[in-house]
Amino acid sequence: MLIYLPIAEISVNLFFLVGIGAAIGFLSGLFGVGGGFLLTPLLIFSGVPAPVAVASVTGQVVASSTSGALSYLRRGGIDLQLAGFLVLGGFGGAFIGVWIFDLLRTLGQLDLAISFGYLIFLGSIGTLMLIEAVRSLIRSRKSGPPPRRMPGQHNWAHGLPLRVRFKRSKLYISVIPVIGIGFFIGIVGSLLGIGGGFILVPALVYLLRIPGSVVIGTSLLHVLAVMAATCVLHAVQSQSVDMLLAFCLMVGSVAGAQFGASAGQYLRGDQLRALLAIIVLGVAIRFALTLLLAPADPYSMATLGFGEAL
C-alpha cells in the first residue's frame, strides 16, 4: 500500500514506514533510548531526502518523549529548575542549529554534512560504548562490578562561577556547564535529528553528578521541549517537516516500544550496552560506505522554482 509523502515528494509503502517505526520503537524500549539517532539514518538509507528525514524525526521524538516526561513529572522525578536551564541552552542551540541547517542546504552541502556528522558522531560514541561494555563484561566475570562514585561528589564543573542551588537534585553547582550541555544537545539535535538523551544522561551523571532519581525525567523534559522547538523551527524556516511521515513512524514506535521494554528485562545492562554499541557502529560503517563508494546514479534531477532559477 503506497502513500505519497508531500514534503519528501516520494511514494513509500505504508507498512514499511510503520515497520521501521516499530523496529525503532522496539530498540527504544529495549535500550531505553529515544531512537532518533537510528531512525534518521534508516530513513535516509530508505530514500527519504536527508533534510526531510532530519526535520520529520523531530516530531516523532516529541511524541515518543511526551508520555515518559508526563509520567516522571507526576512521580516527582524531574528537577524543574535544572530542566529550565538545560532548556534555555537547548533553545539557543536549536536556533543556531536550524540556521546552520538552512545555510548548508542553501550551499548544497547538507547531505554531505549530515553523513559526515553521523559518521563521526556514531563512530566515536559506538566505539566508546563498546569499549566500556567489554570492560564491564570482563570485570563482572572476574571480580564483580567496580565501586561507583556517588552523586553529589565534586569535580571541576562544581568550581565554576554563577553557582545555583538545585534543591530537587540536592546540588550547588554552576549553571555554565548546565546551559552549555543543553546548548550542545540543541545544536546536534537540530542538525542530525536526534533527541540526544543518550548523550545528555551520561553528561548529567558523570559531569554534574545529578542523582539517578531525577536524571532520566529531567533529560526527557529537555528532549521534549527542545525537539518541539526544533520541529517548529524546521517547519517554519525550511518547510522540511513531513507530518504524514512523522505520524506513520509514531504509530509503529508506540507498539514496538512495548515489546522492547519486555525483552529488555531478560538481558543484563552490560549486554544491552554491547549490543547497542554494535548497532551504532554498524550504522556508522554504512555512512562511511556511502561516503567512500561511488553512487549507483551520480546524477540527480530536481525542479527549480522561478526564484531559484534566477
Q: How confident is the model at residue 183 (pLDDT cuts 50, 70, 90)?
A: very high
Domains of the chain, residue spans:
2-145+155-292
Other CB atoms within 10 A of residue 49 CB: 20
Distance CA 119, CA 172 (A): 37
Helix axes 50-74 and 14-31, enclosed angle (nearest 10): 50
pLDDT, averaged across the chain: 77
The confidence score (pLDDT) of residue 131 equals: 83
Q: How confident is the model at residue 92 (pLDDT cuts 50, 70, 90)?
A: very high
Distance CA 12, CA 73 (A): 37
Percent of the chain whose predicted confidence (pLDDT) is above 70? 80
Instruction: Reply yes or no on whether the pLDDT at 96 is more than 90.
Output: yes
Mean pLDDT value of segment 100-128? 84
Instruction: Reply yes or no on whether the pLDDT at 16 is more than 60.
Output: yes
Higher pLDDT, 292 or 261: 292
Distance CA 44, CA 36 (A): 12
